[in-house]
Homo-oligomer: A and B are copies of this chain.
């Protein structure tokens, strides 16, 4: 147990992601579907729209009846009817005819375009203005001042979605617009992955519950609350085990229970070498366990442990909450997205310019806390000063800038991609 640990490079850690299966699937209502991840490809049973719809207020026409029409040489069309919203027109129009229609109305048979009301005038009513919504009684005549092309100002049946088309693929996290699309197609129940449950354990003889007054030498259990927040923001369910004493049997028992109830386990606390060794000992003693990572070449976050127990990832995170947050954001989150069934995609980063020079050690990837500040129309990433263990540095920070292992630092004005620390 006394080996200095052999650190793993970040890309090699990410290569381990695919070794863990996603959680199982279940059925959810789209009303509860926001942020859920689709477990199967979905196809449409119908055309969307399933009828030809007007996208402007005006008159449904045969486009050919308007060809050549202009202010100086209007086309004259006979009003064959008015189309009520939500109803199928009971008539058809022929050449030289038109029908009054509102946005969203169904075109009558024979029509292949819509003339905007602004480009027409009702002739038979004295005093009416062009563009007025009145006029256009059946049998009356309108003037059309502009020609339209076939298909103009309407949606064809199936133009949005065609029957049989795959509309959304498995692994997609549902945003409001995806929920809207499903609603449009009448798909109310959807196959989604379960929400992963993430057990959170804190260790450390110095850690006390937050409602207790710490005695000299003790600190409150910050990590449980911070990590629970990060798990929630990632769309998973935190399962809080609280503080587990730094005793082999106790931690082993708690780990076993956590593995029964959760899809992933996070143990944090104990940044000392002794505690880390102890965590590795406990992980190794779990049935069907293998230590995959014992240290990562990143800073902060080097003393991170990843074990695989049966098919579940078990993490030993650094005890400093600030380091634990960086490791969660950079390393754990991609695993959690994968467990959630999400097709791994890089979360969007924010482009900014470094507000000052920053140096970095070679041979490891550094994550620098930055605050984003807009000045003169440029977004600047200002490194947050202060020792890395100070939680207020995380409160001041908006994101992290990654400095890769072969770089000695970044110059002022260097363009950087900022990893957001939260999207809230």
Contact = CB atoms under 8 A, between A and B. Distances in A.
Nearest to A134: B2
Nearest to A103: B271
A387 B155 CA distance: 8
A253 to B, nearest CB: 21
A103 B207 CA distance: 13
A233 B223 CA distance: 26
A53 to B, nearest CB: 8
Given A84-B205, A86-B215, 4 more contacts: A50-B214, A85-B205, A175-B421, A176-B422
Interface in A366-408: 372, 374, 379, 387, 389-392, 394-395, 397-398
Contact of A159 (B226, B275, B387, B398): B387
11 contacts: A31-B225, A48-B391, A55-B320, A85-B272, A88-B217, A104-B319, A160-B391, A161-B391, A175-B229, A176-B325, A177-B226
Interface in A85-109: 85-89, 102-106
Copies of this chain held together in the complex: 2
B181 A104 contact: no
Interface residues of A, number: 111
Interface string A211-222: 111111111111
A272 B211 contact: no
> Lowest 8 A-B CB distances belong to which pairs?
A176-B229, A180-B226, A351-B351, A86-B206, A102-B272, A106-B217, A175-B422, A423-B423
Given A155-B390, A210-B188, A392-B161, A35 B424 contact: yes
B387 A55 contact: yes
A160 to B, nearest CB: 4
Nearest to A224: B183
A167 B220 CA distance: 17
A169 to B, nearest CB: 11
A321 interface: yes
Contact of A85 (B183, B246, B422): B246
A34 B2 contact: no
A189 B274 CA distance: 35
Nearest to A422: B175
B348 A205 contact: no
Interface string A274-316: 1101000000000000000000000000000000000000000
A202 to B, nearest CB: 11
A258 to B, nearest CB: 19
Contacts of A35: 424
